[in-house]
Amino acid sequence: MHVINEENKEKRVKFCRSVSRWTTNWQRIVFTDESWLCAEAFHLRYVRRFAGEELSEEYAMKKTRFNGNKKYLVWAAISFDGPEELNFIEGTMETDVY
């Protein structure tokens, strides 16, 4: 989850209030953004034992769900009609691709 600080929050609220008075046809406006998503390996640990037995390493099993660190550039848009499909971008997001 992306958390913004108070200064940026105030700037966003100020911007929203200023554009709320626009007489723009909002059905023709599209908001877009791109962001990096990072997927890293994570490990789960399962423990199998009988009720009443103490926790012991011999019962623990490690399982890797995803190997490797990967970064994905994603781009999305939202308009009056709702969200657009999430797009995965290979390479760099250049102006002509945007």
Tell me: the pLDDT tens digits for 4-33?
889 999 999 999 899 888 888 888 889 898
Domain that holds residue 53: 28-89
Domain membership of residue 9 (yes or no) is no
Domain membership of residue 44 (yes or no) is yes
Domain membership of residue 67 (yes or no) is yes
Domain membership of residue 59 (yes or no) is yes
Domain membership of residue 13 (yes or no) is no
Count structural domains, the chain. Answer: 1
Domain membership of residue 73 (yes or no) is yes
CA distance 9 to 17: 12
pTM above 0.85, yes or no: no
CA distance 49 to 60: 9
Q: Is 28:81 a contact under the CB 8 Å cutoff?
A: no
What is the percent of the chain where pLDDT is above 70?
66
Domain membership of residue 57 (yes or no) is yes
Contacting residues for 21 by C-beta, under 8 A, at least 6 apart: none
CA distance 31 to 76: 8
